[in-house]
Amino acid sequence: MDEKDNGSISRRGLVGGATLGLAAMAAGPTGAQTPGTPTGGAKAVAKSDPTMKHPKPPFRSQTQPWPGLAGQMDPRPDHGETSYKGSGRLAGRKALITGGDSGMGRAAAIAYAREGADVAISYYPTEEPDAQEVIELIRREGRNAVALPGDIRDKALCERIVAEAVRQLGGLDILVNNASRQQQRPSLLDISSEDFDATIKTNIYAMFWLTKAALPHLEPGSSIIQTTSEQAYDPSENLVDYAMTKAAMMNFTKSLAKQLGPKGIRVNGVAPGPIWTPLQVSGGATQEKLQQFGGDTPMGRPGQPVELASIYVQLAAEDASYATGQVYGAAGGGGQP
């Protein structure tokens, strides 16, 4: 059969197939989908009212020594311990998350493990009880979990954290600069040089040192993610030094994205609004603000760390390959960006 005959048969087949398809549509197949029914055997995802999904203020007055423990908060934050379900989006990836014991770092660590990644977390030594809970949750998913305690205000420690993460994970694909220090002060006159130095070193120097140490290990397709804040855009009057660092983190994200874009390494940020974490109960908020925390947002409540977990996953996932230099917000309708 020659080339001309092949083309003729193909045209006849197409016409015949189209005719059969139209006839089948007209007849109305017995297996037709009911509008709104999930396809492929998927179960429908239950909807919930986001304003009622998590606790609302007022919250009881409570304080903890810095940096605080999630396990001692009332109510206890939800990091996705029982609710986050993975689907293999980060299978085979290797992530280092600072401040991975609680807050958004813990939510990211749990989500990454359930998406198939091996995870190393760094944390302040007094946060060991929270950190061990996260390590156990990661291991339950059959993933490699690495605990890296220490004070990231030290350059040498930051370099060791990266080196240990690379050694014990067998490489590094994702760096999440999440750990931060927040201590509210009613006046600039109340911020001592020691306080200022501690905040700048924790939030800015550590991010710089860790990222610099990680870069030689990051290949094209890797991701760097900063946890910045709505404070970078709309700073509170009693968080001057903290807000300064978050604005710097936002600019670091955008500048570094331009530098690393040609190398195939994406750099993005997450800017939470009021999220229920140990930052609030360990000096990050006044007791008056703590008791009404998040109540002034359109949703009438603070966010929970688990509500940002999917953002950290998306920014690290392969299908977000064109997203770089972006800052993703989550503030219950009242924040920026």
pLDDT at 203 (0 to 100):
98
Percent of the chain with pLDDT over 70: 88
Quote the mean pLDDT of the chain: 91
**Does the pLDDT value for residue 309 go beyond 50?**
yes
- Tens of pLDDT, residue by residue over 156-204, are 999 999 999 999 999 999 999 999 999 999 999 999 999 999 999 999 9
**242 annotated active-site:** yes
- Tens of pLDDT, residue by residue over 234-253, are 999 999 999 999 999 999 99
What is the rounded distance in angstroms from the CA atom of residue 277 to the CA atom of residue 26?
57
pTM of the model: 0.88
Q: Are 134 and 121 in contact (CB under 8 A)?
A: yes
- The burial of 132, by beta-carbon neighbours within 10 Å (0-12 exposed, 13-18 middle, 19 or more buried), is given as middle
Q: Which of 7-16, 87-96, 276-285 has the lowest mean pLDDT?
A: 7-16
Alpha helices in 177-295 (DSSP H): 193-200, 206-214, 240-260, 278-279, 287-291
The residues spanned by each domain of the chain are: 81-274+304-330
Architecture of domain 81-274+304-330: 3-Layer(aba) Sandwich (3.40)
**Does the pLDDT value for residue 45 go beyond 50?**
yes
Kindly name the residue from 84, 112, 123, 242 that is annotated as catalytic. 242
Q: What SS3 state is found at 311?
A: helix
